[in-house]
Amino acid sequence: MFSQGAKKRVTELLSIAGIQVNGGAPWDIQVHNEDFYKRVLGGGSLALGESFMDEWWDCERPDEFISKVLSTDLEHIVRSPAVIGEIMLSKILNFQTRSKAVDNVHKHYDIGNELFIKMLDERMVYTCAYWKDANTLEEAQVNKMDLACRKLMLEPGMKVLDIGCGWGSFAKYAAEKYGCTVTGISISHEQIDLGKKICAGLPVEIRYQDYREVNEKFDRITCFGMIEHVGQKNHRAYMEVVNRCLKDDGLFLLQTVGNPYTRTYPDPWISKYIFPNCTVPSVNQLGEASEGLLYVEDLHNFGLYYDRTLMAWHNNFVQHWDEIKHQYDERFYRMWRYYLLSCAGGFRAKRNFLWQIVFSKRTRPGLYIAVR
């Protein structure tokens, strides 16, 4: 039932962020269902995303709307029971056991390669690009991979492990451009199938394997956008695997979305619809996980480049929607747009960062010179 009090409260809160209900600015929301206000007050960020999917509201620039909401901390003012429940469960349960991790990955990465082919660059890179001196998404992704290779000081003949290798984009680049032998591991069947085709003829092995099962030595280890799926209860075990598999003089490059706050629970909407049980680590969590195992040689933050990357993905998705929409429905279209645009707004508001961190073994000799 429509509540006038709820409407007044939501309208007042949005005005703090400079957002007007049914206003004319690109970031103003147009409300189509008057029950929207009560729903959002009771359900927080989960209800906000779901009501967009249900066409209860629209906005010309959802990315700007989300950026303004996050910049004024409105999500902390309206904390829903869903968030409180996630906090309590995260302290008790491990949502990233081996069996649960397979289910989590399947729900996002196995929804159809064609979607990602249309959305991403030609190399199929599904992590933040490095836009310095780049004009296109393709150039920016090559920049990112080459930057990582130089940070790792790759040389021909090195053995490289890529944890959570996606469709093999980095494995292919390191093999082609730097002469490395690369082992990529993933638990996404669709990514592995396409990745093997992409890397055919190169010294690249892409195999189905949980990171916890790896027990080989490598000169270098990489991980792009996968530790967010590891879960805070498994961070230490993850770093122990890296320590076990990295040669004494080796280097490990970790690229991850970073949280300015230490949290143990995911965003309810992202967890339910996009990345199940995904938790973004803080510097403190990564530091505790690696303490006594690995040294931080370099930390590079280029989070605002993720805003631009996500907007490029969104533009590709919208542009090619007619070619893939027979596989999905209109609610999926709104859900996927909200995912890309709300995440872009989050990086724009600096509520998330993007870190490339270079670690070494404690036994590595010599001075490491940071690369930019």
Beta sheet of 181-186, edge-to-edge order: 204-208, 181-186, 159-163, 218-224, 246-258, 353-361, 294-301
- Residue 245 is among the residues annotated as catalytic for this protein: no
The residue from 59, 180, 278, 343 that is catalytic is 343
Catalytic residue numbers, as ranges: 343
